[in-house]
Chains A and B, each alone.
Chain A
């Protein structure tokens, strides 16, 4: 069996110590309880503090468990919370782009639509909340696959169906698409899922830079494209919206 990493073992011991009966401990108490030199103990505590796992009481200088540990136990972002936070920004995106807006999260092997704003043209539209989109061909799915390792595993390990002549199914071609997505910060779907339909999507991150969802617009390919390229103003509007929602999640989660 491979040797364990000593500093991690010591860090774990410190967390257990701080979680014990006495909740706040000074540096020398921590060092002596674990049989460490003060300098060594201080280095580990400082690192844990930087990660938010340990906090130092400014008055007494004593250490206690940090809020980050609580967050670890309950990191799951409620999708309805996500929708509530995204509401004004997605409305604004629909108005400025003139297209319908979708907000999606990873669910099992696909993208679950958790919020949908109608295209602002007064045509009859049906609310698609609860619908699923494919991970490998939709813009929302590509964003999630590019940023979320769990989504990436799902899409690589499962069958990637051909929906149109443009659908990318080969795993190496698909990985190249994800590289591009990560490099430029957004993904596109130009008639890869539905004929005549294009989408642009960007990632939503929470305060710890975890990808929690994707937001995008969908519309007729003729409207979203200018020549052979997707319209830059629309890409910018989608990314602005994703950033605004991310900022909202970061600013007010705790």
Chain B
């Protein structure tokens, strides 16, 4: 996407994602000037294991940066800063003398550390480190993956203790390479990525010595924790040689930033295969008693960090794909709206897509999917409607949990992601939340967030207020459902959720 009307200067954002690496060039209004993207291989060595080749990823990152700069038809002098956003929790260890990874990166989805996490929980269980880190002990996070690598790659622990090995999430890997690699690369991570390791103390923004000891991870491998928006170094080579590398944010935090959720109580929800909702809770980390994660939202330079509550829904867009691929009820994902719009309501049917158990706020691995309330009256169109409603109700449940934990009522929900093109879903979401749902004009909020943070760090943008002024509403849906209907429907949904629980007899 190029546009002859835009002129420099620009910010380049690199999004090192789970399936691909992308580079987007933004202008001062936050408009997209050029995009380049390249997918990388998903490596599945065993069931439940997922790896990436970090060397391939670094090559791809260099290519997409060169590609985007070429498409934009600009020079390094036009680019004021580089921002980084990345797939979170994916873990890599590499040799600082050769720059070579000692093993493939272990991807966030990888479950090989399930048993290790149980062991680390000892008699306390999942919540052993929650007070310090805001997270439950789960295979999802980086710390246990580091430990697994140290235990399983031959001779690695000795090399790590001797100070020859570096650990990083993908932000660290990209920044270290960009800033020179073996030739003076800086070994840093930002607070948002560090907050997903299970190793950082949320209150002090420092690696937690006690947890490091419990997990048996030598502190010599750890990157320095920095803010999300500051100059870490400059690009040492390539098409952006000499340009400051000035931001790093985990992808969901970057989307929060790109959606300009800078005030306490502001929230965004990204609708993809699954859904991630984050709410800004201001300068205090809010403990969750309702199954949410406490995480760092962002930190701009020397300012105080801003915290967030995070809730994830495993199956949203994936349910629509399931209707298309497994059930064959629709030919394309967009058609779900056509089918669902052909009826006025769900006909009494409720679809709880607990395909791999229930996530927030229930955390019930013993649950499985159910369609409840079936009668002879129900058609495939009612089921399609129930499919869309499932995404909306699950969002409502996360939002309720956030309100309970933070005491802040949701005033409006900012949305992004592929499913926001579904008008009926967005209206239903607004109806069920009883709050306005707003879609911004730039769909690429993740890259935009990284660009914004980098631009702030180098003075390209002056303040978060200026970024807010850049934010443009593309569409807004307001609630149309009466309270009595909403309450009745919510009650039915909650009943259906109860029916999904306890399906697996023996949860070991």
Chain A positions within 8 Å of B, measured between CB atoms, are 74, 78-81, 83-84, 87-88, 91-92, 94-96, 115-118, 120, 122, 125, 127, 129
Contacts and interface: CB of A to CB of B under 8 A. Distances in A.
Contact of B1 (A78, A79, A88, A125): A88
A-B CB proximity, top 8 nearest: A80-B334, A120-B472, A81-B334, A84-B421, A80-B337, A84-B334, A87-B421, A91-B441
Interface in B27-42: 29, 31-32
Given A91-B443, A96-B3, A118 B475 contact: yes
B422 A122 contact: no
A127 B336 CA distance: 21
A83 B441 contact: no
13 contacts: A80-B334, A80-B338, A80-B422, A83-B423, A84-B421, A95-B441, A95-B472, A96-B3, A96-B5, A96-B31, A118-B472, A127-B476, A129-B423
Name the residue among A84, A94, A115, A125 with the largest chain B CB count within 10 angstroms: A84
Contacts of A122: 472-473
Interface in B1-48: 1, 3, 5, 29, 31-32
Interface in B318-339: 331-338
Name the residue among B1, B31, B472 with the largest chain A CB count within 10 angstroms: B472
A94 B474 CA distance: 8
B439 to A, nearest CB: 9
A83 B424 CA distance: 12
B490 interface: no
A120 B332 CA distance: 30
A127 B424 CA distance: 12
B442 A91 contact: yes
Contacts of B423: 80, 83, 115, 129
A116 B473 CA distance: 12
Contacts, number: 71
B355 interface: no
B461 interface: no
A115 B422 CA distance: 10
Contacts of B32: 92
Contacts of B338: 78-80
B324 to A, nearest CB: 12
B477 interface: yes
B122 to A, nearest CB: 49
Contacts of A96: 3, 5, 31
B334 A91 contact: no
A125 B472 CA distance: 12
